[in-house]
């Protein structure tokens, strides 16, 4: 049975050619009822995925699809570029290495190389997590505009996830200031009990922080006395990835 989402995909595929199409043409081409096609078109138009030509009432693909396509391509590019450096960091630390991108004021995990040790952090590709309580998230958040950070705190809040989660605005702002000074972030069991993570920001050619890389493992194996050494290693890898992406620091 073809559901409404599948029908919507067929409609967008039909509109991927150079010719604009209207309700009747799409209905005839796809074999869908006109009422169904009309409803799909209106929904996709409202979401910016399609645009309607007022004079002809015909449709073509919307600019939002370009934005989504560019974002998908960027995620593919960073995974391809970052993966060799992640492998090196994985071999160096024998811990799980994670790659995330900033998406809708959250981190989205897009790549992972697991530790070979029995007790380890497992792959979370495709999973989202908050910014304020993860090393990957805090390393990004520390480099956002102050007003943006305040908006995130206001809209998403700072709910407690573990006993170590920072849940006050003053607390997280002080934490972000410390991260900016060091260049890397530490998640000391703030998102998951018994799990420590060290993350650093990745910049693009526009000098924007849009991604991060981290090393993650159980607290029983992470020597907190050496956590700063690990932070430097992660930060160096983040800098190398940023360089490959076209980032050049100011003189």
User: pLDDT (tens digit, 9 = 90+) per residue, 4-35?
Assistant: 888 888 888 888 876 888 999 998 988 898 99
Whether residue 53 is predicted with pLDDT greater than 70 in this model: the reply is yes
CB atoms under 10 Å from CB of 81, counted, come to 17
Whether residue 251 is predicted with pLDDT greater than 60 in this model: the reply is no
The structure tokens 């700072």 sit at 158
Whether residue 74 is predicted with pLDDT greater than 80 in this model: the reply is no
Structure-model confidence comparison of residues 81 and 67, the more confident one: 81
Q: 71-244 falls under which CATH superfamily?
A: GAF domain (3.30.450.40)
CA separation for the pair 215, 23 (Å, rounded): 52
pLDDT given for residue 225 in this prediction: 58
Whether residue 47 is predicted with pLDDT greater than 70 in this model: the reply is yes
Phi, psi of 151 (to 5 degrees): -65, -40
The single-letter DSSP state of residue 189 is S
pLDDT tens digits, one per residue of 180-235: 999 999 999 999 998 999 999 999 888 999 999 999 988 887 665 578 899 999 99
For β-strands 106-113 and 195-203, DSSP reports them as: unpaired
Q: Which residues belong to CATH 1.10.10.10 in the chain? A: 4-61
pLDDT given for residue 75 in this prediction: 63
Q: Is 170 left (phi over 0), alpha (psi -120 to 50) or beta?
A: alpha
Query: Which of 118-122, 133-137, 158-162 is least confident?
Result: 118-122
CB atoms under 10 Å from CB of 173, counted, come to 16
C-alpha distances out from residue 201 to 159, 189, 208, 234, 238, Å: 23, 20, 10, 9, 6
What is the value of pTM for the model shown? 0.72
- Tell me the average pLDDT across 57-62: 89
Query: Can you say how many angstroms the Cα of residue 155 is from the centroid of all Cα atoms in its chain?
Result: 18
Class of domain 4-61: mainly alpha
Nearest C-alpha neighbor of 15 from the set 55, 65, 74: 65
pLDDT given for residue 1 in this prediction: 43
Structure tokens at 162: 């573990």
pLDDT given for residue 167 in this prediction: 97
CA separation for the pair 135, 86 (Å, rounded): 16
Query: Which of 68-77, 90-99, 130-139 is least confident?
Result: 68-77
* Average per-residue pLDDT for the chain: 89
The structure tokens 């897009």 sit at 110
- Tell me the average pLDDT across 45-58: 89
Q: Which residues belong to CATH 3.30.450.40 in the chain? A: 71-244
User: SS3 helix, strand, coil % of the chain, rounded to 5?
Assistant: 45, 20, 35
Structure tokens at 170: 């003053």
């Amino acid at each position: 049975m073809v559901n409404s989402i599948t029908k919507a995909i067929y409609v967008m595929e039909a509109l991927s050619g150079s010719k604009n199409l209207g309700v009747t043409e799409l209905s005839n081409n796809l074999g869908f009822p006109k009422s169904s096609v009309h409803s799909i078109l209106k929904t996709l138009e409202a979401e910016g995925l399609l645009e309607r030509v007022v004079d002809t009432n015909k449709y073509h693909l919307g600019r939002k699809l370009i934005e989504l396509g560019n974002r998908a391509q960027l995620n593919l590019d960073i995974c391809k570029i970052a993966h060799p450096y992640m492998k090196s960091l994985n071999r160096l630390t024998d811990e799980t290495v994670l790659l995330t991108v900033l998406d809708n004021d959250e981190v989205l995990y897009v790549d992972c190389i697991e530790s070979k040790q029995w007790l380890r952090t497992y792959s979370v590709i495709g999973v989202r997590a908050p910014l304020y309580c993860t090393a990957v998230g805090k390393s990004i958040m520390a480099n956002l505009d102050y007003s943006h950070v305040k908006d995130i705190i206001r809209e998403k809040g700072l709910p407690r996830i573990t006993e170590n989660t920072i849940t006050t605005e003053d607390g997280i702002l002080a934490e972000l200031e410390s991260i900016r000074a060091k260049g890397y972030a530490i998640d000391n069991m703030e998102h998951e009990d018994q799990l420590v993570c060290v993350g650093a920001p990745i910049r693009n050619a526009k000098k924007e922080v849009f991604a991060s890389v981290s090393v993650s493992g159980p607290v029983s194996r992470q020597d907190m006395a050496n956590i700063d050494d690990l932070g430097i290693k992660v930060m160096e890898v983040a800098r190398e990835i940023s360089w490959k992406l076209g980032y050049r620091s100011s003189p």
